[in-house]
Structure 1
Amino acid sequence: MMTTMEWFDFEKVDLRVGPVVSATLNVKARKPAYTITIDLGPMGLRQSSAQITDHYAAESLIGRQMLCVCNFEPKRIAGVKSEVLVTGVHDAAGKVVLAGFEYPVPNGNRLL
């Protein structure tokens, strides 16, 4: 059963968009992951560790706009200070498919 919430609860989640400016393999991660840097416009550059290696090569991520949760506390993951959570869903095989946008939007824009 799905739990409902109030609009006020949703407004607490700060989801913003920005392009990947760098992506490298995180060799310290137990499961394959990239260390990615995302340009969130006025919020500046933010880093994340993301287990998205199944469908995406590091070089294919450069310039791709990512939807990120920006207001979690930073978390250290395999030696990386992960400042944002990249969003996506699992496909039928359990591999992450990133959330995306049909058209480019300004860096740092918030999901409405």
Structure 2
Amino acid sequence: MRLNKILQGDYTVSSLYHQIKLPLDIEISIPSDDPVRLVSAFVEDMNLSDLYGTYDRTRKNQATPRQMLKIVIYAAMNRIYSSRDIESACKRDINFMYLLDGAPAPDH
């Protein structure tokens, strides 16, 4: 048996500067009765046509106005009011990542 047999060609073998990136399923990490799920469901049911009317363009790799509204509401629920603190929470807190739904963290 050969010990140095490569099972998967996509993984880095001998480099110290690369990291394997595997998808993280945030959905299973958040309990079903967590308030973040309530905020998400509440905003999803809202008619936001007026909000979308004020945004004439949304870039491809950017949070949508609906996601931003979810973030602002959830941040206010947790007494986070600073835009820099909200940006930091979007990068670190799994509940904010859940609200972003794969979009990158917004800039302050």
Relative to total residues, which structure has the larger strand share, 1 or 2?
1
Higher relative contact order (CA 8 A, sep 6+): 1
Higher Rg: 2
Question: Same fold per TM (> 0.5)?
Answer: no
- TM-score (structure 2 length as normaliser): 0.24
**Larger helix proportion, structure 1 or 2?**
2
